[in-house]
């Protein structure tokens, strides 16, 4: 395992979201489309191609293993925690949870790997589901007021 430190530090938020996308063992086009529609790549400051590369890296590192287990193994936990610790801004963390919620539900099924990583991020960052729901509702309200939001 090469670890997330081999990637650019400026990609910290994108790496976390890429991990969420890869946690089910593959990169689902419906999840990528949901992120595109939400403007996630623009919000994270990475082009879609870079995000896809980050998701592939995460998939190679832990994604397939996550889909085979019902818990985070110690080596996977270390990798996930290193990614999560790189994002320090509370608002950025909440944004990532909102975007991840959209991505992991886009295919109509939340896999055990997706749930493991998402729930771990929520716990690690002290974010509860109600906070994510509020962030989603605020985003929807802003979009209703401004179509380009």
DSSP 124-145: HHT--HHHHHHHHHHHHHHHHH
Task: State CA 148 to chain mean position distance.
Answer: 22
**Residue 65, pLDDT score:** 63
Residue 8 is classified by DSSP as: -
**Residue 7, pLDDT score:** 47
**Residue 140, pLDDT score:** 85
Task: Provide φ and ψ at 71, rounded to 5°.
Answer: -150, 165
**Residue 67, pLDDT score:** 58
- Within 10 angstroms of residue 93's Cβ, the number of other Cβ atoms is 21
Residue ranges of the chain whose pLDDT lies below 70: 1-10, 63-73, 145-149
């Amino acid at each position: 395992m090469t670890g997330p430190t081999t990637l650019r530090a400026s990609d910290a938020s994108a790496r976390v979201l890429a991990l969420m996308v890869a946690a089910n063992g593959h990169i689902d086009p419906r999840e990528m489309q949901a992120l595109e529609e939400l403007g996630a790549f623009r919000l994270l400051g990475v082009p879609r191609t870079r995000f896809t590369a980050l998701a592939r890296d995460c998939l190679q590192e832990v994604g397939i293993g996550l889909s085979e287990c019902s818990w985070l193994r110690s080596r996977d936990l270390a990798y996930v925690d290193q990614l999560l610790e790189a994002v320090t801004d509370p608002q950025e963390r909440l944004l990532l949870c909102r975007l991840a919620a959209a991505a992991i539900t886009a295919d109509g099924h939340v896999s055990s790997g997706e749930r493991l990583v998402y729930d771990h991020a929520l716990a690690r960052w002290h974010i509860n589901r109600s906070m994510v729901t509020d962030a989603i509702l605020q985003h929807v309200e802003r979009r209703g007021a401004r179509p380009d939001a």
